[in-house]
Structure 1
């Protein structure tokens, strides 16, 4: 939580007589502002130019057709490890229109350490005004404060052992706390942040003419002060579902 204590500092300035400049002690020249070297400046110009040109090319020439799911997200397994799923939550139609999703699943799972809320949405294309809604903006808008946000590694065993990066948030609303894991999955990638997804969206649109993908979010409530336990539950659940989501996404 932010410390709200403010420190006030008063600076008193008093005029002082200027010392004469002697020939033996010349005045030092004021420090010059650092200017990027030629190589650094050109590197920045080239990188910005390449990205803007790529984005313009994608928008004007085309970014591929929408790519449907292999199967509907409503078919996502009800049993995941030790967790048993409940009934799917149906979002109001106006909310679905605002989100712009082509498919989604929202479901609570019950397990030995409490409940887990699983939400995944799919976009057949993320161009043409359709895009993900970041939980960095949506959840604070519903009254939750982000007290911690970081990108963390996550080990996944299937289909082969490898490590991915996901975003982890600790949320608070009054006395309530929640742990949130989220990421973007599609086109053979797992991207932890919105910024990484946007960069790869341009790259994949140019190379593969595809921009489809899924947004995945896991929420685990914190009981008492057991934040580490909630973190552990979220991590294990994520390790189970990442390979399962791949079965639904286009190859």
Structure 2
């Protein structure tokens, strides 16, 4: 039998939760008042980028507030592609895009997936991101991807991002976020080298993104 004290504690917790949820949804959703991601440097870590855009049907499917799609190249090397899809609070702060579903749907067989640590430039901290290798017709897509919330919070899972989004909405009335993806397409004998290049470049992207994060009010 539940004691009177435990029952009262449960009721108080339930009422507090309801009050907090009500407070969140009673507040007006902030709107993006200043973008900035489009000013992410075209010249970065010895690479120079050219802008690109997805076909209209892909853009509609991604449904981002701000999309950055670029191909960075160093000298005559294989280019690496960067995609940043930003979703403001009004759109729930995240995408439905999932490489683990999208790659097989496009005919790519995923052969390796794990998390890797990307050190910051100060070498004292690091962020956990996802690594994926997928293969099709003798060609490999080597990819790093992660979620970013509040500009500086880097998360490897959608669950982690959801927790941060809830915290952000409660504490700052803001739960915007982005999906970030870096990728290269290479033959079998260049997979290891491509993974190393992506990890090095990812450190620079992680350092730069907070500087250009959109402003919401």
The TM-score normalised by the length of structure 2 is: 0.79
Q: Is 1:108 paired with 2:71?
A: yes
Determine the C-alpha separation between the residues in 2 that align with 1:64 and 1:138: 34
Matched, 1:233 2:197: yes
Cα distance per residue 1:157-179 (max 9 Å; x no partner): 16x84211101111111211121
Which position in structure 2 is the counterpart of 1:173? Answer: 136
How far is 1:94 from its partner? 3.5
What's the CA shift for 1:70? 4.5
> Aligned pair in 2 of structure 1 residues 67, 126: CA closer, same or farther (>3 Å)?
closer
Q: Distance in 1 between matches of 2:69 and 2:143?
A: 15
| Cα deviation code 1:27-73 (max 9, x no counterpart) | xxxxxxxxxxxxxxxxxxx9xx98xx58x927972576244274343
How many residues matched?
199
2:84 aligned residue (120, 126, 141): 120
Residues 96/199 of structure 1: CA separation in 2 closer, same or farther (3 Å cut)? same
Match in the other structure for 1:195: 159
Higher helix share: 2
Once residues 192 and 28 of structure 2 are traced to their aligned partners in structure 1, the CA distance between those partners, rounded to angstroms, is 43
Structure 1 unaligned regions, length at least 5: 1-45
Query: Contact 2:94 / 2:179 at 8 angstroms: preserved in 1?
Result: no
**How far apart are the structure 1 equivalents of 2:45 and 2:62?**
30
The runs of 5 or more residues in structure 2 that have no matched partner are 1-9
Q: Report the RMSD for the aligned CA atoms in angstroms.
A: 2.8
2:89 alignment partner, SS class: coil
Higher relative contact order (CA 8 A, sep 6+): 2
